[in-house]
A and B are shown apart, each in its own frame.
Chain A
Amino acid sequence: MTQLDLPSKTFDWQSQKAFSSASGDDNPIHMDPVVCRRTQVGFPVVHGIHGVLWALDCLIAKSQISKPIARIRVRFNNYIYVEDTVGILIKKLDENSLRFALHIGDTLKTTVEVTFGAAQNLEISPLSSAPKHHRKTPFNWNPSEHKEFSGRQGVNDAGAVQQLFPALAEAMGHHRTTGLMALSTIVGMACPGYHSLFNSLDVLIHSTSDNIDGVTYRIKNFSQATGLLDIGIAGCGLSGSIKAFYRSRPVEQPPFTELLTLVEKGEFRLKSSLIVGGSRGLGALTAKILAAGGGRVIISYSTGKTEAQKITREINDHCKENICSVLKLDVQQDMREPLSSLPIPVDHFYYFATPHISRQKGSLFSKKLFDEFYSYYVDGFYNICQILARNTPDKITAFYPSTTYVDNRPNNFCEYAMAKSAGEILCHDISQFAPNIYTIMRRLPPLLTDQTLTMFDLEASSAVQEVYSAVKQLHQTAKG
């Protein structure tokens, strides 16, 4: 068989739901696009184990793997997103082992090494005596509270294993295939659960019947510096270890009450502002700062309705009047209707609409990605300027947040910086040539938001002073 004969698979929503339902791994990073946009993955990702089990099933069905499997090692290099089409690439094959990769174009997604040989003839000792857990929502593991953590995990529907991975279940046994699937459920639902990212696994296959109901697990080590958990596993004819990151939690901007102590009372009184993309991050912070200074604000959201309403409640409950309201606005759609029925007339607007910024890509430049950024940072901004200028009798002042990455950027931010750079030119020309609108552009350094979340946050600084300064600048310019 040549590489060309190896199959590919599109991991669509149907297969995503089927794996989630069978495994019981319903972690929101797989299933909930709204939650995902506030994590470093950005969009729903395919269960890593799903990709591995699919590939093993294909390779067995195609007789690429025909010997008994003694050991499986996997490293999840990059995320596979829902609707991605993934291929299998054989890297090395000899009589003892097979190494292959799941890939999309030139981008390595998962590395798998299968060692052939007789299964272990050793009895497996359970790592926990706890009963099997069926969690409906992911556990929220916390390094300070649960250092010594163990448990026992099954899958939601073991009967579906045969249907999803028939060749693998026949070759390795239903019990062991179910055990491999349960590793996803351990990481996604139990340990570390909610804030998790599966990193790697190294398991031995046992020939003995262990009589362990489900897969038991126990934390062996947690690295504070890297957030990496090393977890021992035993059961379902498997033993070994899995590694998972305890991923960063979404960044919460300071509460309104804290900002009240920073912002001068009445500083933004008599001002009404529209904050586009105000349900989270810098947009949410801007809304709170303006409201803390006595301004009236409308915060727009595209998908984060609940978050927008939460901020509105936080502000209005404290102020005991409705100075904050919400507006559904998608900058990639026709915005004439929502913008012509604003609850209050506005004299300022802030433009924080953005897609997920940090992306994986297989080449230096992606036209598709550039077009997406451009539609937000140029088209969306221009369309709002036009509509507001037409609808408003007085002059409007607009804030456009650009980025220091235009001048100096890390690898992989080419399209983002290019689109922001185009937005800067647009800002300049709107101020110069449009009669009814004045724009202020500011290059912001990386600030601590969901967009700058990584495994560890090194360079992003607190956003409060930077945003407060930008808001003040906008108001002083408008006065002048």
Chain B
Amino acid sequence: MSASTAAATRRPPPWRDVRVLRVALQALFLLAVVSLVLFLLDNLVFNLRRLGIETGFGFLDQPAGFAIPDSDFRSSQSVRAAIFQGARTTLVVALAGIALATVLGIVVGVARLSPNWLVRRTAALYVESFRNVPVLLIIIFLYLAVFLRLPPIGRAVEWVDVFVLSNRGLVVPSLAGTGSTGPFLAVVVVGLAAAVATWIWRTRRFDATGQPHHRVLWALGVVVAIVAVGFLATGRPYGLSLPERGDLGVAHGFRLGPEYAALLFGLVLYTASHIAEIVRGSILAVSRGQGEAADALGLSPFQRLRLVVLPQAFRIMIPPLANQYLNLTKNSSLGIAISVYEVTKVTRVSIAQGSPAPQAIAILMLVYLVISLSIAFVTNLVNRRLALP
């Protein structure tokens, strides 16, 4: 008996022990990868030094020397400030693009399943044409063939102070702060908080008593009332800035430039065609029994879509949608082809003006990594909230 228990607890020698081997091989592999990375880094540093190119990140403090249009950036500011300005543009394009592409994609995706033949065919035509063309071509086409063909500034289309349309952009009235805007913004925040509170109150009341909640109307009413009172009480701190057409451009107002518009709409049209296919696939993946049950309950087709099918389809479509959002963000770098100063263009210009390429591109990749990870994080949260328990 003592012999058998001794045999059961005796370990095999290390070179035959599978537990040791597992750990040892993984450790060796990790060491090999780390050594390779260090070798490559060392090679890079050696070659940069040999060429006399700096190997540090000091270039970030150098003055940029180039201007960035449509911004407050001055050429005497540092390269770091230029990269931040570019990153801000990328972020705005990405967020606006994601929002617009999602809306358009859902509409077209649902349209592809419409019982109406014309609607269905038009949606299919849109999806097939835009999905199969490289997005760069869509962007360049929109710019060269659509937006540049608008009338030049001398023959701009204008409508009495409301908008001015030319190939230098569409200018609409904007809000301009005329006094101290701080107190008003505080009032706006208070108004939004009150609206959220109202929404929750009305929903609770509906849950308790069953009476219609009209929560959207209530929340909107609360916000509008508080903001209006605050606006008058703080002395009307915002005024309308109306566009005035000059010979070379339009002063005041908010301008949507042709380059920016071409990039944004190109990205939206392309990504929406992909999102439409994802939406269509997700709707088809919801079991038919759900749709039939909704019909049996007497729901109209719109109610069936809105209350039964789409909520279940959303759960399925979140991961592929996240993928499309990341693609859109990265595709925004195609703005370099039409002079949109997003972060890739700013980095390339600064490299051409003397910043060392390896470090600058590493920073560029880091910017995209941060933006992409944030988008992925948010979509993961949504995914987890919607997941079946």
Interaction A to B: no
